[in-house]
């Protein structure tokens, strides 16, 4: 890059100790939205995150396309049923890089909306979820006091830990990227497990799954499934 972006950390009386966006020296102790002087450079550290009481998780929602249009926001999702309880769009730009107008419900500017999200994160005592590491080439993961395994043939997933187990079945997903389909074809593929996160203290697990596309002209089709281990 020709210039080093000057990052302003929007927090409630607290600055993140690392200013290297996307390359923190260690896992941050708390999630934080970081707003660049150019709103299109908005990023975050410490996500996904879980509330201190384990009732909800916070997720970064970002999207972009080849035209240059992009958006960035944070969603708070209830663990018990996966419902979105709060959604805060922070920035959005059009294909020319011009800021798009967003609802002012949580602040009239991107700065105000970032402050609102960081205040919610601090109020709920959110902390980063740990990402389980994949074991070899097998669809198995371990970490955060949990183990996970996935059978792509039948879509069955199991996450186990001291607090119990989560079992789910991931259905086959229809390919929606036209670049990967011949005209008139409909293809369904097994869902891929993209990441598994967990928190030993609350027993909360978060599965990120969907389809990854080989074409650079397609956005990955990704969904999140929060759950709590139980006996």
Domain segments of the chain as ranges: 7-128, 130-228
Q: Please say whether the beta carbons of 16 and 34 come within 8 A.
A: yes
DSSP 98: P
Per-residue pLDDT, averaged over 202-210, amounts to: 96
Query: How wide is the angle at C-alpha 169 spanned by C-alphas 168 and 173, nearest 5°?
Result: 135
Residue-level pLDDT at 112: 94
Question: Looking at 51-60, 141-150, 156-165, 213-222, which range is the least confident one?
Answer: 213-222
The Cα 45–Cα 31 span in angstroms is 5
Q: Which residue, among 227, 223, 19, 30, has the nearest Cα to 121 in the 3D structure?
A: 30
Residue-level pLDDT at 14: 32
- The 10 Å Cβ neighbour count of residue 7 is 17
Q: Is the pLDDT of residue 148 over 60?
A: yes
- Which tokens belong to 36? 């660049």
Across the chain, what does the average pLDDT equal? 85
The position carrying tokens 């800021």 is 99
Give residue 164's region: left, alpha or beta (phi > 0; psi -120 to 50): left
Buried/exposed code over 122-150 (b: 16+ C-beta within 10 A; e: otherwise): bebebbbbbbbebeeeebbbbbbbbbbbb
Beta strand ranges found along the chain (DSSP E): 7-9, 32-36, 43-45, 49-50, 56-64, 70-78, 84-93, 127-128, 130-131, 133-134, 140-143, 146-151, 156-161, 164-169, 173-174, 188-189, 192-199, 204-211, 221-228
Query: How wide is the angle at C-alpha 7 spanned by C-alphas 6 and 10, nearest 5°?
Result: 150
Residue-level pLDDT at 69: 84
Per-residue pLDDT, averaged over 51-64, amounts to: 94
Residues 6+ apart with CB under 8 A from 205: 146, 148, 159, 161, 166, 196, 197, 198, 199, 226, 227, 228, 229
Per-residue pLDDT, averaged over 34-41, amounts to: 78
Give per-residue pLDDT as tens, 150-205: 999 999 999 999 999 999 999 999 888 877 777 778 888 899 999 999 999 999 99
Residue-level pLDDT at 133: 97
User: pLDDT above 90 covers what percent of the chain?
Assistant: 61
Where is pLDDT greater, at 229 or 36? Answer: 229
Residue-level pLDDT at 29: 85
The Cα 124–Cα 140 span in angstroms is 31
Give per-residue pLDDT as tens, 97-147: 788 889 999 999 999 999 999 999 999 999 999 999 999 888 999 999 999
Confidence grade of residue 26 (pLDDT, cut at 50, 70, 90): low
Residue-level pLDDT at 20: 32
């Amino acid at each position: 890059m020709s210039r080093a972006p000057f990052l302003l950390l929007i927090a409630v009386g607290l600055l993140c100790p690392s200013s290297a966006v996307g390359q923190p020296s260690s896992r941050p102790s708390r999630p934080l939205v970081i707003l660049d002087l150019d709103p299109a450079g908005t990023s975050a550290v410490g996500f996904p995150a879980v509330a201190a009481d384990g009732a909800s998780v916070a997720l970064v929602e970002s999207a972009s396309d080849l035209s240059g249009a992009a958006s960035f926001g944070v969603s708070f999702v209830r663990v018990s049923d996966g419902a979105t309880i709060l959604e805060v769009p922070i920035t959005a730009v059009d294909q020319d890089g011009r800021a798009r107008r967003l609802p002012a419900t949580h602040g009239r500017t991107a700065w105000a909306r970032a402050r609102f999200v960081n205040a919610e994160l601090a109020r709920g005592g959110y902390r980063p979820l740990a990402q389980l590491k994949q074991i070899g080439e097998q669809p198995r993961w371990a970490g955060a006091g949990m183990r996970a395994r996935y059978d792509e043939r039948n879509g069955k997933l199991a996450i186990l830990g001291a607090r119990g187990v989560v079992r789910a079945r991931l259905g086959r997903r229809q390919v929606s990227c036209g670049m990967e389909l011949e005209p008139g074809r409909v293809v369904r593929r097994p869902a891929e497990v993209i990441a598994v996160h967990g928190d030993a203290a609350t027993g909360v697990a978060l599965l990120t799954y969907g389809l990854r596309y080989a074409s650079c002209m397609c956005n990955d089709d990704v969904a999140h499934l929060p759950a709590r281990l139980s006996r």
